[in-house]
Amino acid sequence: MIDINLIRENETIVKENIKKKFQDEKLAIVDEISELDKEYREVKIKMDNERAEKNRLSSEIGALMRDKKIDEANEIKKKIAEMGEEVEYLTKREEELSKLIKEKMMVIPNIVADSVPIGKDDSENVELKRFGEAVVPSYDIPYHADILARFNALDKEASGRTSGNGFYYLMGDAARLSSAMLSYARDFMIDKGFCYCIPPFMIRSDVVTGVMSFAEMDAMMYKIEGEDLYLIGTSEHSMIGKFKDQIIKKESLPITMTSYSPCFRKEVGAHGIEERGIYRVHQFEKQEMIVLCEPEDSEEWYEKMWQYTVELFTSLDVPVRQLECCTGDLADLKYKSCDIEAWSPRQQKYFEVGSCSNLTDAQARRLGIRVKGEKGNYYLHTLNNTVLASTRALIALLENNYNEDGSVNIPVPLRPYMGGKEKIEPVA
């Protein structure tokens, strides 16, 4: 959520930002907010004046009673009673306007960075840099579901019976490899100085609407029937929510945390759920990182965070590239964002395995997270980044470490988590 002073003082910037994001339908909402805000401020001034006058008149009653001026005192009491009704009305109207303005402000997108390329959707994202050598071997790389089948590692038929489409059973060495990657990602981030955390896997609606836009919520989140609880789509949600309505000491910043969780997603939209494999599914596991920091430090943290993901994947012999997300591909709360994509030797192209975002103070405003400063309280900046998402990371590892004989090399950093194994061999 942006600062309403931006609309009060420079409405043009807000409207131009909306146009950059190709959300012209929201331009009228800015005008609505301006009108409501104008009435809100008028009501507040009138209410404050009425209260001040009411208090002044109340202070006169005692003196009038002492001077036996009963009639005058009664007249003032009558006037105070009438003013009380007016103050009550104005108070109620102020609350109504405040709520309405906040609801409309919640759909206005965050101001994007000047460096963000203009584009309508992810097809117009811009490649910035590649890391590692993208190799295409002389032999064919099978589809990842077929690789897993050779290890007797994937059962989607059974998960279809128990849970429906979009779920899976992962078994044997492949399941162990998936867990090894998550454990390695956890220790990798701990070594970077991040505090490890296992957060709640369900959050309340006021946390959901604090960390993401309504459109994202509808497309992603599973609601628990009969409860004010949602299954998390990523642990960033509950991790940032941990600080809801808190005033944080300046000396405590930056707060750097890495978290493990299962993730649950509807995956509503054009992409749909993958039938055979595990690329797009309703449930997976993830290691995440978040940072809460001073506003002036968020750009520096953004650069550090996406580079951590690059470092992790290249250490697993997986080439990656960085894509800068264009305006039309940015979620409403994001100031800037980049995707990290892994090389697929089978498809001979890159696919998304993580995303790093700087949200400036947008989440902090929605959740009421502030810093106690010397000159008053102010909103901090929040950032998040995928360290490793289990299913897509596993696909990238399988393809880039696949051998012609059907075995898969286990990258050196993962071997301690795999009992020293160097390869996964097909089941005879």
For 370-381, what is the mean pLDDT? Answer: 93
346 alpha carbon, distance to own chain's centre: 31
d(C-alpha 277, C-alpha 218), whole Å: 25
**So what's the pLDDT on residue 271?**
59
pLDDT confidence of 22, banded at 50, 70, 90?
Answer: very high
User: Over 17-64, what HEC string results?
Assistant: HHHHCCCHHHHHHHHHHHHHHHHHHHHHHHHHHHHHHHHHHHHHHHHH
Pick 105 or 80 by higher pLDDT: 105
Residue with tokens 């019976």: 161
Give me the percent of the chain exceeding a pLDDT of 90.
Answer: 83
Give me the percent of the chain exceeding a pLDDT of 70.
Answer: 98
CATH of 4-105, one of 3.10.450.40, 3.50.50.60, 1.10.287.40, 3.40.50.1950: 1.10.287.40
- For the ranges 7-11, 76-80, 184-188, the one whose mean pLDDT is highest: 184-188
For residues 275-293, b (16+ Cβ closer than 10 Å) or e, as one string?
A: eebbebbbbbbbbbbbbbb
Contact call for residues 33 and 4 (beta carbons, < 8 A)? yes
Per CATH, which fold does 122-424 belong to? BirA Bifunctional Protein; domain 2 (3.30.930)
d(C-alpha 100, C-alpha 395), whole Å: 46
Given this chain, do its domains 4-105 and 122-424 carry the same CATH topology?
no
Neighbours of 306 (CB within 10 A): 23
Please state, rounded to an integer, the average pLDDT across all residues of the chain: 93
Is pLDDT at 269 greater than 60 in this prediction? no
Q: What is the pLDDT of residues 340-358, one digit of tens each?
A: 999 999 999 999 999 999 9
202-203 and 230-231 strand pairing = antiparallel
For 81-100, what is the mean pLDDT? Answer: 87
Q: What is the pLDDT of residues 233-252, one digit of tens each?
A: 999 999 999 999 999 999 99
Residue with tokens 């807000």: 14
For 102-123, what is the mean pLDDT? Answer: 96
Annotated domain spans of the chain: 4-105, 122-424
Residue 328's Cβ-side half-sphere holds a number of Cα atoms within 13 Å equal to 13
pLDDT confidence of 274, banded at 50, 70, 90?
Answer: low
d(C-alpha 147, C-alpha 131), whole Å: 25
d(C-alpha 413, C-alpha 337), whole Å: 28
Residue 20's Cβ-side half-sphere holds a number of Cα atoms within 13 Å equal to 24
Neighbours of 27 (CB within 10 A): 12
Ranking 180-184, 198-202, 273-277, 329-333 by mean pLDDT, the lowest is 273-277
